[in-house]
Amino acid sequence: MKAILGISAYYHDSAAALLIDGEVIAAAQEERFTRTKHDSSFPHHAIKYVLEEAGINGTDISYVAFYEKPFIKFERLLETYHAFAPKGFRNFAKAMPVWVKEKLYMKRILCEELLKQEIDTQILFPEHHLSHAASAFYPSPFDKAAILTVDGVGEWATTTISIGEGKEIRLLRELQFPHSLGLLYSAFTYYCGFKVNSGEYKLMGLAPYGTLSSQTQEYIRIIKESLIDIRQDGSFLLNMDYFDYATGLKMTQNSKWEKLFGFPPRKPEEELSQKYMDLAYAIQSVTEEVLLRLIETTKQLTQCANLVLAGGVALNCVANGKIERSNLFNKIWIQPAAGDAGGALGAAYATWHTYLKEERTVHTPDSMSGSYLGPCFTDASVQAFMRKKNAQGIRLDNDTLYNKVASLLNDGMIVGWFQGRMEFGPRALGNRSILADPRNTSMQKMLNLEIKFRESFRPFAPSVLEEDVSKYFDMSETSPYMLKVANLSVSHRLPLPYDYEALPYLEKLYVNRSSLQAITHVDFSARVQTVSMQTNPRYYSLLNAFKKLTGCSVLVNTSFNVRGEPIVCTPDDAYCCFMSTGMNYLVIGNWLFAKQDQPEENIKSVPMEWTD
């Protein structure tokens, strides 16, 4: 037996993943255990979990793989400060002691941390973008595929094009720091008032509220003329006169951006105005243009039929939908944990196939087990939690449970749905989810304001039975990981008022635009998850019960958490979230909990305000 532990840590979204003889056994983000969102600390809890899941000890680990090369990252830091000197000297002086004391001795630090769990073995350091590429290609269902990785930055690389075949990955092209599509998008995330490294999906969700007006077209022109020089092959140069991330502590040179666009950066939590929506539309449009050009170049260089994607930018599901609809590749597969957390899995895969040169087995639909790679909890552990909390629930057999929950959802109830193994990656895929009826015209507002405590403009995703996806959406391929956006079918759309485009965004948001109002974004799009019996039989059975009752095989699926908190991991986490929000019912395994039946002392006051 060869057990390989992959680790990502010390930047954001720390995680651990475990391969045994090349098969994925378990993977989880540290944040789910510590309850600190985007936790960057060493993943002690995640490592403890993956070892327990496999039934092995730290002494059984054959290799540890860290998801990047710290020395090369340090080299980039030195060369960047040298290139921009004397600019940034104060930040250089602050950064150096940390690097000299900690980062340069990463191997020693890792050894010390690993020894706490009795892991004393060889540590390997694949490059950051190799870890991304490996996470995309090796678990994919393709023997041969083109590989595109796009993110903020690893050591030097920000974008890579590679080809994978069998157990081999070969790098073909690389774009280097400071020229980064991920950091460009993050700069606009910051300028629009959202938090970098966590708010990029908010910027993507805000973009459809923008309009292709003359003003928005002007923003696009300004971006392409002043901020980014896009080449025909998708490579690009950023004008670093406008950015501060290379040597400073901010993303943008605010005074220069304010002069460019005519308005200052939005303050967090400040009311959204149309200019920020139009700016979000503009950068989303430019990002898609760059990605589509990169995709064309990837096709030309590789001549592959299939494409795999990873890196933080691969979580831009709007762009992913357009990449798929370009039909440049027959099939596309995206790593569900495409960001840095997935680097832990990729590092382990790179060790198995690239370093050890072990042969690869291709699985259908893929090797990720639906991304259900986190902890699960036995019925006995649920009952133990119930005794501790004095939680009042009833246990139902499977068919009764599915029919009962379907009926509750049809009656307008909001249900927390906690089943099986926790998802690996940022999306809840039916095991740690909050569910609702998408036909309910007031459901989006209720979910945002009473359950998630988040911005009202945020859209909700649909889960749909795999075989029914084309009945509701302009989509023929599956989307098991909720990483592709498709348009709602015309047959489910309702006519819009004549003055729709002129309405303020909140009024536009609540216009009844479809028969599935709660999951239809303002541009008639939706981030679709297709559900199959093969990968999640319990969630599939619930959707099927809802279909039999209502004729509708779609549910609202949003992650089981509130704003500012990670997705729930344990029954205790789920119950606390349930009791502190407006959820009506909670299901954990076969146990059904009604809010009105719970002890008064378990009811928490609902927070009035949440921040990221």
The full DSSP string for 219-245 is HHHHIIIIIEEE-TTS-EEE-GGGB-T
Q: How far apart are the first and last CA of the chain?
A: 43
pLDDT of 479 above 90: yes
- Compute the half-sphere exposure of residue 604: CA atoms within 13 Å on the CB side of its CA: 13
Specify the CATH number of the domain 3-135+338-367: 3.30.420.40
pLDDT tens, position by position, 122-168: 999 999 999 999 999 999 999 999 999 999 998 889 999 999 999 99
Compute the residue count for the chain: 612
- Evaluate if residue 505 carries a pLDDT over 90: no
Same fold across 140-334 and 379-602: no
The number of CA neighbours under 13 Å toward the Cβ of 497 is 11
Radius of gyration (C-alpha) of the chain in whole angstroms: 24
Task: Give which of 419, 588, 573, 606 is closest to 32, Cα–Cα.
Answer: 573
Q: What is the pTM (predicted TM-score) of this model?
A: 0.94
Burial of 325 (0-12, 13-18, 19+ CB in 10 A): middle
160: its two tokens: 């890579």
pLDDT classification of 102: cutoffs 50, 70, 90: low
Residue 506 pLDDT level (bands cut at 50, 70, 90):
confident
Res 106: pLDDT: 83
Give yes or no for residue 85 having a pLDDT over 90: no
- The C-alpha atoms of residue 200 and residue 181 are separated, in whole angstroms, by 12
- Quote the pLDDT of residue 384: 96
pLDDT of amino acid 394: 98
Note the CATH number of domain 379-602: 3.90.870.20
pLDDT > 60? residue 606: no
Q: What pLDDT score does 49 carry?
A: 98
With beta carbons less than 8 A apart as the criterion, state whether 182 and 158 touch: yes
Q: Which of 228, 345, 245, 339 is nearest to 285 (CA)?
A: 228
* Residue 478 to residue 473: CA distance in whole angstroms: 11
Q: What is the mean pLDDT of residues 63-89?
A: 69
pLDDT band at 80 (very low <50, low <70, confident <90, very high): low
What is the pLDDT averaged over residues 499-522? Answer: 87
- Taking the C-alpha atoms of residue 248 and residue 245, their distance in angstroms, rounded to an integer, is 5
For residue 608, the model assigns a pLDDT of 35
pLDDT at 611 (0 to 100): 36
Contacts of 147 (CB under 8 A, 6+ apart): 133, 136, 137, 160, 161, 162, 163, 164, 169, 307, 308, 309, 310
Mean pLDDT of 315-341: 97
Residue-level pLDDT at 82:
47
CA distance 574 to 569: 7
- Helix pair angle (274-302, 214-222), 10° resolution: 50
pLDDT at 74: 61
For 319, list phi and psi in degrees, rounded to 5.
Answer: -65, -40
Mean pLDDT, residues 16-45 taken together:
97
- pLDDT tens digits, one per residue of 214-227: 999 999 999 999 99
Query: Is the pLDDT confidence value at 407 over 80?
Result: yes
**For residue 248, what pLDDT band results from cuts at 50, 70 and 90?**
low
Task: Tell me the average pLDDT across 64-80.
Answer: 76
Decide: helix, strand or coil at residue 444.
helix
User: What integer is the mean pLDDT of 98-121?
Assistant: 83
Nearest-CA neighbor of 135 among 149, 154, 153?
Answer: 149
Tell me which of 212 and 4 has the higher pLDDT: 4
pLDDT of 605 > 80? The answer is no
Summarize the confidence of residues 323-335 as an average pLDDT.
97
Interval 113-121 mean pLDDT: 96
Which residue in this structure is represented by tokens 């490059």? 127
Rounded distance, CA 224 to CA 216, Å?
12
Bridge partners (DSSP) of residue 331 are 306
Residues 6+ apart with CB under 8 A from 76: 153, 155, 156, 177
**Averaged confidence pLDDT in the chain:** 92
Q: Find out whether 139 and 360 touch, Cβ atoms under 8 Å.
A: no
Q: Is the pLDDT of residue 357 over 90?
A: yes
* Listed range (88-97, 267-276, 368-377) with the worst mean pLDDT: 88-97
For 144, the token pair is 């041969």
In the chain, the largest separation of any two C-alpha atoms, in whole Å, equals: 70
Q: Which of 428, 447, 145 is nearest to 305 (CA)?
A: 145
In the block, which residue shows the tokens 């909050």?
434
- Token pair for 234: 């998708």
pLDDT digits (tens, 9 = 90+) for 525-583: 999 999 999 999 999 999 999 999 999 999 999 999 998 899 999 999 999 999 999 99
CATH number given to 140-334: 3.30.420.40
Q: What percent of the chain has pLDDT over 70?
A: 92
pLDDT of residue 607: 42
pLDDT category of residue 340 using cuts at 50, 70 and 90: very high
Q: What is the pLDDT of residue 431?
A: 98
The candidate with the shortest Cα–Cα distance to 206, out of 20, 529, 456, 429, is: 456
% of the chain residues with pLDDT over 90: 80
Residue 16 and residue 8: Cα distance in Å, rounded? Answer: 7
Could you tell me the CA-to-CA distances from 249 to 196, 197, 246 in Å, in that order? 12, 14, 9
| In the chain, domain spans | 3-135+338-367, 140-334, 379-602
Torsion of CA 182, 187, 189, 195, to 10 degrees: 100
Asked if 405 contacts 415 with a C-beta cutoff of 8 angstroms, the reply is: yes
Contact 434, 415 (CB under 8 A): yes
Say how many CA atoms lie within 13 Å of 39 toward its Cβ: 20
